[in-house]
Amino acid sequence: MAQTLIPPFGTPQDPARRPLDATVPASLSLHGADPVTGLPTTWHIVRAPEGAAEPYVVEHAEGEIHSPAVWMQARRVSWAAGEADVVALVRDVLGGGPTAP
C-alpha cells in the first residue's frame, strides 16, 4: 500500500510552478487493496468544483496505476464525497480499519 501526495502549485517543494491558485485542485493518489474485493486498486481524490454538494470527488479504478496516461485510459468510477467519507476511505485502504460512527 502506498499513497502519493502531490504538492499544490507554488509550494516550497515545487517553487518553479505557478503561484498557488484556489481553482487548482489539490489531489491525493491512493494505492492499495480494495476493502471490498481485495484487488489492487487506485483512487484519486480531488477537491470538487466550487458550489458542488460535497467538497471532494473520488475516482476509483482497478489496478495499481502510477502513470497519468494509463489513468486517463482506465475505466473509472467517480462519486462525490464528504471529508468524513474521504478519511474513512484512506483509513480502510491503509489498514487503519473503519472509523467509529
Q: What is the pLDDT along the chain (101 residues), one digit of tens a residue?
A: 555 555 444 445 544 444 444 454 558 899 998 888 889 999 999 988 888 899 999 999 999 999 989 999 999 999 999 999 999 999 888 876 555 44
Q: What cell does 11 get?
A: 509550494
pLDDT of 16 reads: 45
pLDDT of 3 reads: 54
pLDDT of 14 reads: 47
* Long-range contact pairs involving 91-95 (C-beta distance under 8 Å, separation at least 24): 92/35, 93/1, 93/30, 93/32, 93/33, 93/34, 93/35, 93/41, 93/43, 94/1, 94/3, 94/30, 94/32, 95/1
pLDDT digits (tens, 9 = 90+) for 48-62: 888 889 999 999 999
pLDDT of 41 reads: 94
Alpha-carbon distance of 63 to 93, in angstroms, equals: 14
Q: Which helix (H) or strand (E) holds 68?
A: helix 68-73
Pick the closest to residue 72 from 50, 47, 42 (CA basis): 42
Alpha-carbon distance of 90 to 62, in angstroms, equals: 16
pTM of the model: 0.68
